[in-house]
Amino acid sequence: MFTLQSLPYDYNDLEPYITKTTLEIHHDKHHAGYVNKLNELLAPYEEFADLELEQLLKQIDRLPDPIRQAVFNNAGQVYNHNVYWESLAPKSKSVISDRFEKIISHSFSSLEEFKKVFSNAGVAQFGSGWVWLSVNLEGLLEVEKTSNADTPLIRERKPIMVMDVWEHAYYLDYQNRRPEYISSFFEIVNWPLIEGKYNAAVS
Ligand code: MN
């Protein structure tokens, strides 16, 4: 049984950038819905009951044909949302260290340039999807966008930060103005946690 990961902050902690109503619906309805559907799909298949979420995604080829795509979609969405909630923090905690800013600048020439690359990927993503910052096999940082439930985890990347660009992530707060949501996202990035994930990924 997979369980819904709790939000690491209160529903109103990300306001005004992301409202309480959006977080309630996004976490308690959308994210919870993917967890429930995943459990429902796997219920008849005891042999997969003990797999961790990341292992399930990496070993998706083991799943029987009739449920493989649906399991991937729902497991991917559960995993992607777990990383998304951890990528965010209240504004007061969204402070990047000098050390991590240098690391980002090493790959993207500056923090501002990184934000531009990441934001442009979010604007350019056609339809539903995600924008990722991951550590690749060479230990380098990469920005990548994925569609629907896809995740860089299955391509041997170590994802350390993600932005949800499905409409349900921003439509109540920003309607069709995805670029405004993206600039708000950068007000509430959980830099300390992302730096910790980076350290773990390269160690
Ligand atoms: Mn979402």
Q: Using one digit for the tens of pLDDT, what is the confidence trace for 87-136?
A: 999 999 999 999 999 999 999 999 999 999 999 999 999 999 999 999 99
pLDDT at position 66, please?
A: 93
pLDDT at position 160, please?
A: 98
Residues forming a β-bridge with 130: 146, 164
Residue numbers in the chain where pLDDT is lower than 70? none
Instruction: Report the separation in Å between the CA atom of 163 and the middle of ligand 1, taken as the mean of its atom positions.
Output: 9
Instruction: Report the separation in Å between the CA atom of 166 and the middle of ligand 1, taken as the mean of its atom positions.
Output: 6
pLDDT at position 61, please?
A: 95
CA atoms of 82 and 98, how far apart (whole Å): 26
Instruction: Report the separation in Å between the CA atom of 168 and the middle of ligand 1, taken as the mean of its atom positions.
Output: 6
Instruction: Report the separation in Å between the CA atom of 137 and the middle of ligand 1, taken as the mean of its atom positions.
Output: 27
Q: Which residues are near ligand 1, the ion (C-beta closer than 5 Å)?
A: 164, 166, 169
Amino acid at 129: G
Instruction: Report the separation in Å between the CA atom of 102 and the middle of ligand 1, taken as the mean of its atom positions.
Output: 30
Instruction: Report the separation in Å between the CA atom of 174 and the middle of ligand 1, taken as the mean of its atom positions.
Output: 15
pLDDT at position 54, please?
A: 96
Instruction: Report the separation in Å between the CA atom of 189 and the middle of ligand 1, taken as the mean of its atom positions.
Output: 16
Instruction: Report the separation in Å between the CA atom of 140 and the middle of ligand 1, taken as the mean of its atom positions.
Output: 27
Instruction: Report the separation in Å between the CA atom of 39 and the middle of ligand 1, taken as the mean of its atom positions.
Output: 18
CB distance 61 to 18 below 8 Å? no
Q: At 130, phi and psi to the nearest 5?
A: -145, 150
pLDDT at position 49, please?
A: 80
Choose among 47, 34, 26: nearest CA to 2: 34
CA atoms of 190 and 96, how far apart (whole Å): 8
Instruction: Report the separation in Å between the CA atom of 25 and the middle of ligand 1, taken as the mean of its atom positions.
Output: 10
Instruction: Report the separation in Å between the CA atom of 23 and the middle of ligand 1, taken as the mean of its atom positions.
Output: 10
Instruction: Report the separation in Å between the CA atom of 36 and the middle of ligand 1, taken as the mean of its atom positions.
Output: 15
The residue with tokens 């980002």 is 104
